[in-house]
Amino acid sequence: MPIVGICSGKGGVGKTTISANLSVTLSLFGKVVVVDGDVILPNLHTIFALEPSVTLQDVLEDKVSLKDAVYALKIGDFSIDILPSRSEDIAMDKFIEIVYSLRDVYDFVVLDIAAGLNKYAVMPMMTCDKVYIVVNPEETSIVDACKVKKVIDKMDVKFDGVVINRYKGEKWAVAMVEKRIGNIAGIIRESKAIKRGWEEGFIVTAVKPEAKVSEEFYVLARRVAGENVYPKPYGKIKYILRW
């Protein structure tokens, strides 16, 4: 079953938000585990309001078994598992083995990969069956994403598209992404509900599945699950009317 990588050229674009909400929505299509592959600046546990006592690092150090570090969560009508991390500069030698072990158990393994192109980002990318690059509708974000795409192209990994996050109708950004990087796999709007989720500790796609932003995550999840779907870019007026 696929190992799905969510990466970005720079931090702060909402990559972890995408990983968390995509994973919840993807659970409609099968059994999902989401892994915090960022061992330096992990944030995945925060968005799930989880305070883990055991993490990926404990598995990497052979202190616990893999199953002891995986947490089963029930969020509304959704069930999802999470393998969290803590901030620690640690050898990643066993990371690939751990991720492949998860692939034997789950329908989808979603990796929230560290931003950029350091060793903590590149190794997780190498384990993936397909990857998605998250950008904001800003030229600097798109330029950094181009660098990530060039590295991906040198790996035996399928690039399945760009996810434009915090979209407010900037069709120019869609055109730039398609010209410089490749196809668009998802368009996720700027959303007050997402911001409240971070502040109050809830996952929007689980708590507010009827929200417009949740609908956009559903389209992305269908794409990740293998359906031949493409998001339709919309302008600023439609963004405002569909708030």
How confident is the model over 34-75, as pLDDT tens digits?
A: 999 998 889 999 999 899 999 999 999 999 999 999 999 998
Question: How far apart, in whole angstroms, are the C-alpha atoms of residue 153 and residue 211?
Answer: 35
Spell out the domain ranges in the chain: 3-241
pLDDT-derived band at 240, boundaries 50, 70, 90: confident
Retrieve residue 231's tokens: 């998001």
pLDDT digits (tens, 9 = 90+) for 74-107: 988 999 999 999 988 888 889 999 999 999 999 9
> Taking a C-beta distance cutoff of 8 angstroms, is the pair 75, 110 a contact?
no
Rounded to the nearest integer, the mean pLDDT of the chain is 93
> Can you give the pLDDT at residue 242?
67
Of residues 167, 225, 202, 170, the one with CA closest to residue 25: 225
pLDDT at 168: 95
- pTM, to two decimals: 0.94
Does domain 3-241 fall under CATH 3.40.1080.20? My reply is no
Provide the 3-class DSSP secondary structure of residue 83.
strand
Band of the pLDDT at 237, cuts 50, 70, 90? confident
What is the pLDDT at residue 219? 96
